[in-house]
Amino acid sequence: MVEELSLDALRQQIDQLDDELVALLNQRAECAVRIGQIKTAQRLPIYEPQREAKVMARVKALNATLGGPLEASAIERVYERIIDEARRIQRQERERGSR
């Protein structure tokens, strides 16, 4: 039998998950900053479409394996934003370093 949770309990669970998601997104962004520093030092481009395609394929495959309610297109939209922000952070860091 599935335990029914109240609206308040479900919202509390979402708040807790949001706390974890924000922490994880910031950890990911820190990695992107470090990657950007390496790219700058090695004079590599920030935009790497092949790498982004691999990331997208991997997370969509993971989503399919997990079988959750999110469709592949939803995962793609979310990760497009995450990747866009990572690129923005890398560009911003590169600009700071060139000053």
Please write the tens of the pLDDT for every residue from 19-63.
Answer: 999 999 999 999 999 999 999 999 999 999 999 999 999 999 999
Nearest Cα residue to 47 out of 9, 94, 98: 94
Instruction: Please state, in angstroms and rounded to a whole number, the distance separating the CA atoms of residues 33 and 11.
Output: 32
pTM for this model (two decimals): 0.88
Architecture (CATH level 2) of domain 7-97: Up-down Bundle (1.20)
Which region, left, alpha or beta, applies to residue 43 given φ > 0 means left and ψ of -120 to 50 means alpha?
left
Domain ranges for the chain, please list them.
7-97
Phi, psi (deg, nearest 5) at residue 48: -125, 90
